[in-house]
Each structure stands twice: as structure tokens, then as C-alpha cells.
């Protein structure tokens, strides 16, 4: 619960009308711990003062929003709980290195008999901090170096410069983050970035130079993000053997888009959940705010998790999406969906399902993918209660399809096309959870429903990432 110290509310005096002087013959009465705890829980108290030690550049109005509930506490246990909640809110702001809480009886002329003082002892972060770490994406890794200016203006603002060098992607960017005082979930951010990525399954190299602004806010149990993005994209061939279809996509384009994302997440873990559900819905509209790329794009992700007997977990997931070009210009290879690989439809190579030309995969304008999973403890439970708990046995059944649609045919024709030529696979393996950072999978896969042009991975397949079907 963090560092929360509380002293006795009313220390017994050494003498008084009902007590004699404490001497060698004095008789001490031991108070039962249960009775003492009950007295503290039921005793009415008033929080008279809240003090902060260690504040420097942080403005008072920011911290007042976070500690307001402490004054509403009515007994000691409630004071401790609300003080701990306030401590967590203060740490979440990202401006303090350490926050300790001290609860004591109120002192001074205005002190009430049941008055309390709560003191927050804080240590602010330095004005300039640096960091280096490694990140695991969807079957790729990267090294990240960062420089941060936390609490820049005294109200939890943050400026960050970050450089990332990975196996398939190199990027650097400058961002500004500003939360709303008293409501950290409501925040505004601006990002300026450059990203260079390599996509060997398409023989494609892409360089994006962009500017984005987004606003995040909660509504009931959902979280929403509204975003504008303007990006100058440069596409080129990764290899001299790239197909004509990829060469034709090469060149420059300017995309300006508005997007909205909604998330409902009740899972107990985002990496390897045991219970809860996830729903993500994304919409993107490009072309109406400028640029030479126009489309409507929507995709969703649904996941349900249920804990069963013998510490096993059943999980089911469903993904889907559709892209509709606006105007006569066809969609770009950089905007389409891709399917296949150890993080989606297992048993197929990375993004190697669907339309292709001369071995280069071009992506599709519509897709769906679903999965059924059963996670169980390792046989005989080696390392139970320790390192062995990071491993799970994994049984799965995946299916999906990716294609281009003729939008003049109607919904029934679209459903028929998405139901044709379904790729599916099954298998078993081992999952390793790397804390709350990522997870690794080593599966034996049996691909089925393979179509002409698909690239498969029949047998052992390794996957690493944070988002799995």
C-alpha cells in the first residue's frame, strides 16, 4: 500500500483522575489488538491540515485536485485509504520520484480533540532525465533512448525526445504531453516524428515524416482518443527484385486524417489475461482535411477471457476491418490490412496471406481473423509459485481471411467473399510472459486451408509481441 505511517490518536497520559502515578507497583493492562483496531476504525476523526514537504516547481493547484478526497475521510482507516489513493494519483502524474505519507494528531491552538494532520513528503524528479531500454513489438525488437523534461511548467507537462533503433524500424520523435488538472485521463499531446520502416514481405521501404495532435478522455467505462495526423510518406523498393505492383506504389504522398479510437478493457492483464474482456474500435477518415489520399477505414478487436478449473484459462478473440477508398484513386499499399504470422493466424509467415504479386504481398481492403485458445499450467507444475508461473501451455485454433472487395456488389457478396478460401491452423506450444512488457510463444503449428501464393510455416514457429490474436 506504499509508505503510510499513522501514529496513535490519543496517547494515554501517565497520570490522571482515574490513574495513579506510574511506579514500580503500577499494573499494566494489555489491550487486545482486535479491540484497538475496532476503536480506530469506529472513531470519528477530522482531517484539519494537509502539508507537503519537498515541493519545488510544482504548482499548488495541481496537487490540490489530487488530495481533495483526503479531507472527506471520517475515520482513521478511511484516512489511510484515501491518503494511499492520493499518493497513487500523485505518482501517476509522473512528476515525483517518491511520495511518502505521514498521519499524525493535529497540533496547535486550533487543534480539535479528534483532529488529524496528513503530511505528504515528496521528492520531485529532476528537470532533465534520461532513459534507455529495449522494447518488443510484434515479432521485432528495438533499443530506445529517451530524454525527458518532466513537470516543465509546474502542472505535470512533459516534453520527450525519443530515438528508437529496431530490427525493422528506426524512428525519432519529439512530443509534448499535458494532462487536465484533477483528471489525468483527460490529456492532450502533440507529436513530431520521423519513422523509417522495412517490410520485407512486400519488398517495401517506407519513410514517414509527420505531425499529430490527439486528445484522450474517458466516458463512463470507455476511454476515447480523437486524433488528427498529417504525414508525408515516401515509399520505395526494398530490393531490386521488387514486383512491378510494388514499384508502381513507390513515390511520395501526403495523408491528412482524422481518427477516433474507443477502448473498453476489463482484463486483469494486457499481456496474458486470466479474466475480463477487451473491445477496441478504430475509425479513420482521410482526405477531408487535405492531402492526396482519401479513404474511410474501420477496424475492431474483441477478446474474452474466462478462468476455468485447474488454473486453466479459455480465451477467444475476433479481429476485423474494412477500408473503402474515396474517389477514383485506389488504396495505397501503406494503408491496407495484412494478415498472417505468429501474432495473428499462426502457421503462416509474417503478413504472407492474401493478394500478392511475384512473391510480394500487397495487403487487402477487408479482413477478419478469429482464435480459440486454452492456456494451462505446465505439466506437473514445475516451479510452482515462482519462475514456473511465467510459463503456460498453449493450445489454439486460428482462422481468417484477407481480400479485396468490389464495393458495388453489396454486403451479401462481401460476406461470401470473406467466407471463401478461409485459412486456418491449429497447434500447441508454450507461452512465456515477460512481466507486463511482452510475451513469447513457441508453437508447433499445422496450417490448413492454404491458398495459392500463401507462405506457410509448417512446424515450429516463434513469436514475440504485445498483441496476439
Which of 60, 93, 124 is where one domain is finished? Answer: 124
Q: Please state, in angstroms and as integers, the Cα–Cα distance from residue 292 to each residue in 162, 287, 334, 366, following that order.
A: 29, 7, 14, 22
Q: Are residues 291 and 403 in the same domain?
A: yes
Mark whether 310 and 428 lie in a shared domain: yes
Q: Read off the C-alpha cell for 34.
A: 482486535
φ and ψ at residue 207, rounded to 5 degrees = -120, 120
Same domain, 416 and 281: yes
Which pLDDT does position 38 carry in this prediction?
46
Residue 20 resides in a domain: no
- State the DSSP H helix or E strand holding residue 393, giving kind and residue range, or none if neither: strand 391-403
Number of H helices, E strands in the chain: 5, 22
Question: What domain range is 430 assigned to?
Answer: 180-465
More confident residue, 189 or 183: 189
> Do residue 89 and residue 197 come from a single domain?
no
312 and 423, same structural domain? yes
H helix intervals, 337-464? 411-419
Gap between the Cα atoms of 287 and 284, Å rounded: 10
Residue 303 in this model has a pLDDT that exceeds 50: yes
Q: Are residues 187 and 93 in the same domain?
A: no
Residue 4 pLDDT exceeds 70: no
Q: Are residues 118 and 201 in the same domain?
A: no
Judge if 107 and 237 occupy the same domain: no
CATH number at residue 87: 3.10.20.310
Instruction: Kindly state the helix (H) or strand (E) to which residue 290 belongs, with its residue range.
Output: strand 276-291
Would you state the cell numbers that stand for residue 247, as one nine-digit string?
514499384
Residue finishing a domain among 124, 140, 163: 124
Q: What is the dihedral of CA 332, 336, 338, 344, to 10 degrees?
A: 150
What's the mean pLDDT in 339-362? Answer: 92
Q: Does a structural domain hold residue 403?
A: yes
Tell me if 364 sits within 8 A of 354, measured CB to CB: yes
Comparing 29-38, 203-212, 315-324, the range with the smallest average pLDDT is 29-38
pLDDT band of residue 30 (cuts 50, 70, 90) is very low
The pLDDT-based confidence of 21 (bands split at 50, 70, 90) is: very low
Could you tell me what percent of the chain has a pLDDT over 70? 91
Looking at the fold, whether 99 and 186 belong to one and the same domain comes out as: no
Neighbours of 337 (CB within 10 A): 22
CATH number at residue 218: 2.40.160.50
More confident residue, 47 or 28: 47
Provide the whole-model pTM.
0.84
Cα separations in angstroms, 91 against 31, 87, 120, 174:
37, 6, 12, 23
What pLDDT is attached to residue 41? 56
3-state SS class at 82: helix
**Cell numbers of 269, please?**
492483464
Domain assignment present for 284: yes
**CB neighbour list of residue 120: distance below 8 Å, 6 or more residues apart:** 50, 51, 52, 53, 63, 67, 86, 87, 90, 99, 100, 101
Strand-strand pairing, 313-325 and 356-357: unpaired
**pLDDT at position 434 over 90:** no
Give percent of the chain with pLDDT exceeding 90.
59
Domain-located, residue 5:
no
Q: Give the residue from 124, 144, 169 where a domain finishes.
A: 124
Does 246 score more than 90 pLDDT?
yes
Question: What's the domain count of the chain?
Answer: 2
- pLDDT (tens digit per residue) in 135-170: 777 777 788 999 999 999 999 999 999 999 988 889
Q: Half-sphere exposure of residue 294, counting CA atoms within 13 Å on the CB side?
A: 9
Distance CA 469, CA 467 (A): 7
Interacting residues of 327 by C-beta distance below 8 A, sequence separation 6+: 287, 294
Residue 11 predicted with pLDDT over 80: no
- Residue 55 maps to a domain: yes
pLDDT at 33: 46
Same-domain check for residues 229 and 335: yes
Residue 39 lies in a domain: no
Interval 412-429: pLDDT, tens: 887 888 888 899 999 999
Amino acid at each position: 500500500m506504499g509508505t503510510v505511517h499513522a501514529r496513535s490518536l490519543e496517547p494515554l497520559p501517565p497520570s490522571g483522575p482515574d490513574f495513579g502515578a506510574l511506579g514500580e507497583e503500577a499494573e499494566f493492562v494489555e489491550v487486545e489488538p482486535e479491540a484497538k483496531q475496532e476503536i480506530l476504525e469506529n472513531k470519528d476523526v477530522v482531517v484539519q491540515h494537509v502539508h507537503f514537504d519537498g515541493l519545488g516547481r510544482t504548482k499548488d493547484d495541481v496537487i490540490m485536485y489530487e488530495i481533495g478526497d483526503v479531507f472527506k475521510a471520517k475515520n482513521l482507516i478511511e484516512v489511510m485509504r484515501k491518503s494511499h489513493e492520493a499518493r497513487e494519483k500523485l505518482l501517476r502524474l509522473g512528476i515525483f520520484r517518491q511520495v511518502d505519507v505521514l498521519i499524525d494528531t493535529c497540533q496547535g491552538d486550533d487543534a480539535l480533540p479528534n483532529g488529524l494532520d496528513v503530511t505528504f513528503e515528496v521528492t520531485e524528479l529532476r528537470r532533465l532525465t534520461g532513459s534507455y531500454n529495449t522494447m518488443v513489438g510484434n515479432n521485432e525488437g528495438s533499443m530506445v533512448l529517451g530524454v525527458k523534461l518532466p513537470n516543465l511548467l509546474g502542472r505535470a507537462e512533459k516534453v520527450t525526445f525519443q530515438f528508437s533503433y529496431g530490427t525493422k524500424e528506426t524512428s525519432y520523435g519529439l512530443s509534448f504531453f499535458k494532462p487536465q488538472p484533477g483528471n489525468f485521463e483527460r490529456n492532450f499531446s502533440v507529436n513530431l516524428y520521423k519513422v523509417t520502416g522495412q517490410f520485407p514481405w512486400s519488398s517495401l521501404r517506407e519513410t514517414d515524416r509527420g505531425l499529430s495532435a490527439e486528445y484522450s478522455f474517458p466516458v463512463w467505462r470507455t476511454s476515447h482518443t480523437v486524433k488528427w495526423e498529417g504525414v508525408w510518406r515516401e515509399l520505395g523498393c526494398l530490393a531490386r527484385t521488387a514486383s512491378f505492383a510494388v514499384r508502381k506504389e513507390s513515390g511520395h504522398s501526403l495523408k491528412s486524417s482524422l481518427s477516433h479510437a474507443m477502448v473498453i478493457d476489463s482484463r486483469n492483464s494486457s499481456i496474458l489475461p486470466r479474466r475480463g474482456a477487451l473491445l477496441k474500435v478504430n475509425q479513420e477518415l482521410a482526405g477531408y482535411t487535405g492531402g492526396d489520399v482519401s479513404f474511410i477505414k474501420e477496424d475492431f478487436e474483441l477478446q474474452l477471457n474466462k478462468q476455468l478449473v485447474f488454473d486453466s484459462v479459455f480465451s477467444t478473440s475476433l479481429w476485423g476491418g474494412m477500408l473503402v477508398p474515396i474517389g477514383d484513386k485506389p488504396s495505397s499499399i501503406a494503408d491496407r490490412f495484412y494478415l498472417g504470422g505468429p501474432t495473428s493466424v499462426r502457421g503462416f509467415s509474417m503478413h504472407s496471406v492474401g493478394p500478392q504479386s511475384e512473391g510480394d504481398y500487397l495487403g487487402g481492403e477487408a479482413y477478419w481473423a478469429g482464435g480459440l485458445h486454452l492456456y494451462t499450467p505446465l505439466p506437473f507444475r514445475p516451479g510452482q509459485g515462482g519462475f514456473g508461473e511465467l510459463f503456460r501451455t498453449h493450445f489454439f485454433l486460428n482462422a481468417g481471411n484477407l481480400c479485396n472487395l468490389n464495393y458495388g456488389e453489396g454486403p451479401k457478396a462481401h460476406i461470401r467473399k470473406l467466407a471463401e478460401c478461409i485459412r486456418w491452423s491449429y497447434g500447441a506450444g508454450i507461452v512465456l510472459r515477460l512481466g507486463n512488457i511482452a510475451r513469447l510463444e513457441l508453437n508447433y503449428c499445422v496450417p490448413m486451408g492454404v491458398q495459392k501464393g500463401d507462405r506457410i510455416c509448417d512446424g515450429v514457429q516463434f513469436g514475440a509481441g504485445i498483441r496476439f490474436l
